[in-house]
Amino acid sequence: MAVYSWANYSDQELIESFGQATGIQAQVDTYDSNEVMLAKLQAGGGQNYSILFPSDYMVTQMVELEMLQPLDLTKLEGLDALMPQWQNPTYDPGNAHSVPATWGTTGFIYDPDRLGFEITGWEDLFANQDKLANKVTLINDVREVLGSVLKSQGDSLNATDLEQVEAAYEKLLAFKPAIANFITNGWEDQLASGDVLVAMAYSSDAQVLIAEQPNLVYVVPESGSSVWTDTIAIPKTAPNPEAAYAWINYFLNPENAVALVTRLRFATPNQATYDLLPADLQANRTLFPAPEILAKCEGIAPLPDAATQAYDQYWTQLTSA
């Protein structure tokens, strides 16, 4: 069975343990943005995948495009253990087409001693741009990057006012000399070596590195950022849907999930899994932020066509300038 996933949600131990538990051999390919995954499937390159890991807003979009199979919930075990906010999520009411697998926030990770100043939000980066020439990496995702700057302006992460979107783009364009790369995964070695001083990162990825290098700090911008859910879904073209259900059930099993969360360091939306985690992980504020921080965050939502075109146009200009 072929799985198409974000990079940090599987490892060889998962593949081996899943195979031992089910007798199914899984092969995992990875992507670094929802848009890359969607484009591959739309181009016909995803016909062999039985499992996908689309984010919340992408689930909504893929359902509208009729690209996901409706789930037979009678084949799933443990959905009732999901935390309340994931029992009936707005992006996929009733979990009709997806099962939440992980969640988190998006922020900045850096070494305070090496950087020389504190980051509380985008304004600290803009104000210290002269110290950051070619030293910042941003996630390779238009909605995350533009959305985060929109939040710093006091606007919605999902703004459709094109003047607001243009203002965010202009700020990023002015900041371009500081940007070393747009990269979702692979910034870790650059940050560790000092080639990069600040990396925009998902909380789950940041936590993995912080566990190895406790001197690093992860911060959600004080103006707020995105709070995201990555899900497990079965594409309509899945060649092996029964194996796909086995994969989902493996993730829903609390004992299996505890091992995954402890090893791979991502936040679980499953209450039964959370209750079994070690106390230090339950108290980890990078993985499980304080409520007052989450209150300032928004989920990424699908945009009208006109806004989507504007975001994509600005992104092309920004990443190619």
pLDDT at res. 93: 94
Q: Are 117 and 206 contained in the same domain?
A: yes
**Token digits of residue 264:** 């791979």
Q: Are 269 and 160 contained in the same domain?
A: no
What pLDDT, in 10s, does the model give residues 164-180?
A: 999 999 999 999 999 99
| Domain of residue 276, residue span | 2-103+228-293
- The CA–CA distances, whole Å, from 259 to 9, 68, 114, 205 equal 12, 28, 34, 17
Q: What is the mean pLDDT of the chain?
A: 95
pLDDT at res. 321: 64
Q: Are 122 and 270 contained in the same domain?
A: no
Q: How far apart are CA 109 and CA 80, in angstroms?
A: 34
The domain total for the chain is 2
What pLDDT, in 10s, does the model give residues 131-156?
A: 999 999 999 999 999 999 999 999 99
Q: Are 15 and 125 contained in the same domain?
A: no
pLDDT at res. 246: 98
Kindly indicate the confidence band of residue 12, based on its pLDDT and cuts at 50, 70 and 90. very high
Q: Are 216 and 172 contained in the same domain?
A: yes
Q: Are 158 and 193 contained in the same domain?
A: yes
What pLDDT, in 10s, does the model give residues 71-107?
A: 999 999 999 999 998 999 989 999 999 999 999 999 9
What pLDDT, in 10s, does the model give residues 230-239?
A: 999 999 999 9
Q: Are 143 and 216 contained in the same domain?
A: yes
Q: Are 263 and 167 contained in the same domain?
A: no
Kindly indicate the confidence band of residue 298, based on its pLDDT and cuts at 50, 70 and 90. very high
Q: Are 129 and 263 contained in the same domain?
A: no
